[in-house]
Amino acid sequence: MSEQLVPVAPPAGEVSEVARLPELSPQQSHQVVELVFRFFCSLRLTLANLLLLFLAMIAGTFVNPQNDSLVNIERAFAGRTTLLWSYRTFELYDLFHSWWFTALLLSLALNLIACSIERLPRIYYLVRYPETRFDRVVGLRLKVTGAPSAISADAVSDELRRRRFSVRRTGDDIFAEKGRYSRFGVWLVHISLLLILGGGIFGRLTAFEGTVNVPQGGGQADAFIERRPDGGQFRHRLMDGKGARFFVQCDDFRLKEFEPGRPKAFESDLRLFRRMPDGSAGEELARQTIRVNEPLRYAGLTFYQASYQQLERAPRARISVLDKTTGTQQALLVAPSQPIEAADGLSYQLVDYQEDFAGLGPAVQVVRIEEPPGTPRSTDGKPSAAAKITSFWVFNKRPDFDRDNRPDRFAFRFDHITPYYATGLQIARDPSTPIVYLGCFALFGGIGIAFYTSHKRIWAHVASGKISLGGAAHRNLEAFSGEFEELCDALGVPRPAPRKGAQAAA
């Protein structure tokens, strides 16, 4: 037995055989392209793609339905290496953005592109250069041949025109058609699906969403947090298209409930301000009350009312303070014991609340603290020994009582007690939406044309007292056969004999 010696390394100057593709003649390379193209424009691939997409979507709905991040999954499945390996490799924690799901979508897109390339010229030639002679058309299901008739070719043409066909005559041959655009319905469907898929892929690269909680009563935020499915967090600063920064301020938040614990509606008064380079607030950019289904949009960002959160266990009081010297009134939402700095050396604090104060309804007790002029600001918030401290009650049902009865520069009104909330905003950006919208609306039209219209053609040959008539529709032949029979009746031609076992055309 002889052993053949095989060189371990390729001879100098040559690349390894494994890495080198076989050299192809022009003809062969054409065949390869052809094969690849055939593969991508086959209906079999379409079906396989759709089925895989269907299965993947079922998997995506039931695997990780709570959208747990990878970090949490690793914690939950600690020690189960195979499971964790598959979670990481196939990105099951975020299946819809995994590499293989994207590959599936890409394959579907290639499939669509190949199909469109293959179909469009064919459709175009079919429509542009139709077979106009009756005797050259084969396989007609609706056909009457050689029926004796005295009708002239002109009369047949007129009858067809009356039925809104566009008619061409070459000698004794008449060719009439209508609904040519119907052939392009499928093509429109494919193009619009491509737009949607393309928009989706563009969106994957550019869209993001995150959340931020902003306390009511003037809370501000200039960034929001995006939680990535792999457990990472990303902080986005609020900025417009030109990179100028701004911030969102929640002036007020209101919750309406059917009954405690069943929210009916909630809304926030938002304002957007420019953030100046020194950190101060600049001009007001936008102002809107947002609700569920009514977001604020600014600079491509959508501020959506997503949730709310009670910040402090103690409720706050909604009051307004009138400065009698200037006549200005200020609405405030204050916590118990929170100092209200009204003027230099003069401050107030809410210290008590009674649901029904001696039969006079809801009321709050306010403490007035007046420091003698020149007292330095206390560091611990406590009044100094020299401070003059008085207290009074403010009644909800008697709004002018405090103004009229208490000699002071500032007069108080008390509206009601309310929990202190932060509004939960979801902030999102998706620049791909217009493309997707365009695709969707084109698709509506495409499906409508593709399903509910058809390209109808009639061939006729009129000569020496005989007429032959044939008809075809590329969709819904059953409906067209009725139309064809009517045409036969109108021309005085016998109806075509019903063919046995004729399949209802799809």
Q: How many residues bind another protein (CB under 8 A)?
A: 56
Q: Which is nearer to another protein, 286 or 346 (CB)?
A: 286
- Tell me the C-alpha distance between 167 and 160, whole Å: 7
Q: Which is nearer to another protein, 42 or 145 (CB)?
A: 42
**Cβ of residue 326: shortest distance to another protein, in angstroms?**
39
**Cβ of residue 49: shortest distance to another protein, in angstroms?**
10
Q: Which is nearer to another protein, 108 or 462 (CB)?
A: 108
Question: How far is the CA of 113 from the CAs of 145, 193, 267, 325, 424, in angstroms?
Answer: 42, 10, 46, 75, 43
Token pair 């301000």 is found at 273
CB-count exposure of residue 193 (10 Å: 0-12, 13-18, 19+): buried
What is the footprint of another protein within residues 232-261 (CB under 8 A)? 258
Q: Which is nearer to another protein, 22 or 482 (CB)?
A: 482
**Cβ of residue 106: shortest distance to another protein, in angstroms?**
17
Q: Which is nearer to another protein, 37 or 54 (CB)?
A: 54
**Cβ of residue 433: shortest distance to another protein, in angstroms?**
5
Of 154, 230, 284, 294, the residue at the interface with another protein (CB under 8 A) is: 294
Phi, psi of 228 (to 5 degrees): -80, 150
Q: Which is nearer to another protein, 97 or 161 (CB)?
A: 97
- Tell me the C-alpha distance between 309 and 347, whole Å: 30
CB 331 within 8 A of CB 320: yes
- Tell me the C-alpha distance between 478 and 345, whole Å: 93
Of 100, 329, 444, 489, the residue at the interface with another protein (CB under 8 A) is: 444
How far is residue 161 CA from its own chain's centroid? 47
Show the site string, 145-184: x = touches another protein by CB under 8 A, - = not.
Answer: ----------------------------------------
What is the footprint of another protein within residues 68-97 (CB under 8 A)? 96
CB-count exposure of residue 389 (10 Å: 0-12, 13-18, 19+): exposed
Residue 168 structure tokens: 């061409």
**Cβ of residue 180: shortest distance to another protein, in angstroms?**
21
What is the footprint of another protein within residues 382-441 (CB under 8 A)? 426-430, 432-433, 436-437, 440
- Tell me the C-alpha distance between 476 and 484, whole Å: 13
Token pair 């499928």 is found at 186
**Cβ of residue 253: shortest distance to another protein, in angstroms?**
14
**Cβ of residue 47: shortest distance to another protein, in angstroms?**
5
Phi, psi of 167 (to 5 degrees): -115, 135
What is the footprint of another protein within residues 261-280 (CB under 8 A)? 262-266
Question: Which residues face 270 on adjacent strands?
Answer: 250, 288
**Cβ of residue 39: shortest distance to another protein, in angstroms?**
15
Show the site string, 182-221: x = touches another protein by CB under 8 A, - = not.
Answer: ------------------x--x---x-x------------
Residue 206 structure tokens: 């550019």
**Cβ of residue 168: shortest distance to another protein, in angstroms?**
30
- Tell me the C-alpha distance between 196 and 308, whole Å: 34
- Tell me the C-alpha distance between 415 and 333, whole Å: 10
- Tell me the C-alpha distance between 91 and 75, whole Å: 16
Bridge pairing between strands 233-237 and 223-227: antiparallel
Q: Which is nearer to another protein, 129 or 258 (CB)?
A: 258
CB-count exposure of residue 315 (10 Å: 0-12, 13-18, 19+): middle
Torsion from C-alpha of 215, 217, 415, 258, nearest 10 degrees: -40
Q: Which is nearer to another protein, 145 or 211 (CB)?
A: 211
Of 448, 465, 492, 494, the residue at the interface with another protein (CB under 8 A) is: 448
Token pair 């959508």 is found at 302
Phi, psi of 372 (to 5 degrees): -65, 150
Q: Is 449 in the site for another protein (CB under 8 A)?
A: no
Question: How far is the CA of 17 from the CAs of 5, 7, 24, 32, 361, in angstroms?
Answer: 16, 12, 15, 20, 95
**Cβ of residue 104: shortest distance to another protein, in angstroms?**
12
What is the footprint of another protein within residues 483-502 (CB under 8 A)? 501
Show the site string, 295-324: x = touches another protein by CB under 8 A, - = not.
Answer: x-x---xxxx-x------------------
Of 65, 241, 279, 373, the residue at the interface with another protein (CB under 8 A) is: 65
What is the footprint of another protein within residues 17-46 (CB under 8 A)? 43-44, 46
Residue 159: count of CB within 10 angstroms of its CB = 17
Question: Which residues face 368 on adjacent strands?
Answer: 348, 390
Instruction: Choose the stretch contacting another protein; rule: CB under 8 A; options: 59-67, 152-160, 167-175, 242-250.
Output: 59-67
Of 238, 443, 462, 493, the residue at the interface with another protein (CB under 8 A) is: 443
Q: Which is nearer to another protein, 180 or 429 (CB)?
A: 429
Q: Is 61 in the site for another protein (CB under 8 A)?
A: yes
Catalogue the E-assigned strands of 193-300. 208-215, 219-221, 223-227, 233-237, 246-259, 262-275, 281-291, 296-298
Q: Which is nearer to another protein, 74 or 430 (CB)?
A: 430
Note the residues at the interface with another protein (CB under 8 A). Answer: 43-44, 46-47, 50-51, 53-54, 57-58, 60-62, 65-66, 96, 200, 203, 207, 209, 258, 262-266, 292-295, 297, 301-304, 306, 426-430, 432-433, 436-437, 440, 443-444, 447-448, 451, 478, 501, 503-504, 506
